[in-house]
A = this chain, B = another copy of it.
Amino acid sequence: MQRQTFELLILGSSSAAPTSYRNPSAQLLNIAERFFLIDCGEATQIQLRKYKAKFQKIDHIFISHLHGDHFFGLPGLLSSMHLLGRKQEINIYAAEPLKEIIDKINSVSETRMNYEVKWHFTKDDKLNLLFEDEKTQVFSFPMKHRIFCTGFLFKEKPLMRKIDKFQLEKNNISTAEIQKLRNGEDVLNEDGVLIKNKAVTIDPEPPRSFAYCSDTIYDEDMIQYIKNVNLLYHESTFLNDKVKRAKETFHSTAEQAAMIAAKADVNHLLLGHYSARYTDTELFVNEASPFFKNLTLANEGKKIKI
């Protein structure tokens, strides 16, 4: 059986000033056809159209912090959702002043949305559960940046145990017990004998996870939240030539991102949020790979299966 989708689409890989080739931060995460938009730099709605993502399917938008390159695309996206007939509510997870900005914009333009915006304000807590349904959990956690900023952790919930059909028959277990077995419980068979769950089930594939860390200075405190994730997106605004500037502006270098990935023992590292001064992004691979091998560069349109 094919596993449910867990796929990331990169919509923007640039830091603050977009370039001719790169858009500001935005990523679209698809977990089992739930679409989570993470950050929403200017022209995100244009990028969504370009890559054929159905933006009316996005029900949850996560904004890491209120620097413009992470949210200037939100007013336009919300407006287009309205103009194109959205009725379904949308959930926005962000710092509280973003609501004030959106309210102000809607007020001066005398716009009344046809759908409800449900605001969920991020806090400077430790791991903080923002969203949960039967398949997924999303948490925020603190980043160290110039202004209040959170990372986001997306986790599949543990999958049901798999039934070993051969053992099921061999142990004379009624099919009525299958749900209990999937949940990990022991069951009585048709002869009234207790059958241990492990005897007739197989471990499911482990749940997958994705952590989004942008923007942030090099900060080992975050490792506790992102430990062992399948995919870590960690900003790498600079290369080593600007390590001092990275520290001053509360950003990271490619090498620092790789060191965090190694220490957090993640499976796969995704770099992005490149400063406009760098045109050759291969340099980010060169500097990061001595510290962490399994890495990918965020580029507009790239899809990453997790």
- Contacting pair A147 B109 (CB below 8 A): yes
- Contacting pair B68 A79 (CB below 8 A): yes
- Contacting pair A109 B49 (CB below 8 A): no
- Contacting pair B68 A109 (CB below 8 A): yes
For residue A146, which residues in chain B have a CB less than 8 angstroms away from its CB? 110
Mark A101-118 against chain B: 1 for CB-CB distance below 8 A, else 0: 100110011110000000
**CA–CA, A72 and B104, complex, Å:** 13
Task: Say whether A97 faces chain B, with CB atoms less than 8 Å apart.
Answer: yes
Task: Say whether A50 faces chain B, with CB atoms less than 8 Å apart.
Answer: yes
Which of A40-48, A235-243, A261-269 binds B?
A40-48
For residue A19, which residues in chain B have a CB less than 8 angstroms away from its CB? 49
- Contacting pair A72 B76 (CB below 8 A): yes
For residue A83, which residues in chain B have a CB less than 8 angstroms away from its CB? 16-17
Residue of B nearest to A107 (CB): B97
Task: Say whether A208 faces chain B, with CB atoms less than 8 Å apart.
Answer: no
Residue of B nearest to A52 (CB): B20
Copies in the complex: 2
Interface residues of A, count at CB 8 A = 38
Docked complex: A59-93 residues within 8 A CB-CB of B: 66-69, 72-73, 75-76, 79-80, 83-84
Given A108-B66, A110-B147, A146-B110, does the pair A20, B43 have CB atoms closer than 8 Å?
no
**CA–CA, A72 and B69, complex, Å:** 13
Task: Say whether A100 faces chain B, with CB atoms less than 8 Å apart.
Answer: yes
Docked complex: A28-52 residues within 8 A CB-CB of B: 42-43, 45-46, 49-50
Task: Say whether A127 faces chain B, with CB atoms less than 8 Å apart.
Answer: no
**CA–CA, A45 and B79, complex, Å:** 19
**CA–CA, A11 and B75, complex, Å:** 20
Task: Say whether A18 faces chain B, with CB atoms less than 8 Å apart.
Answer: yes
Given A105-B68, A109-B66, does the pair A18, B46 have CB atoms closer than 8 Å?
yes
Q: Which residues of A are at the interface with B, using a C-beta cutoff of 8 A?
A: 16-20, 23-24, 42-43, 45-46, 49-50, 66-69, 72-73, 75-76, 79-80, 83-84, 95, 97-98, 100-101, 104-105, 108-111, 146-147
7 A–B contacts, CB within 8 A, in A order: A20-B50, A66-B109, A72-B72, A72-B75, A98-B108, A100-B104, A108-B147
Known: A18-B46, A18-B49, A42-B76. 6 other contacts (CB 8 A): A42-B42, A66-B109, A67-B111, A68-B105, A72-B72, A72-B79
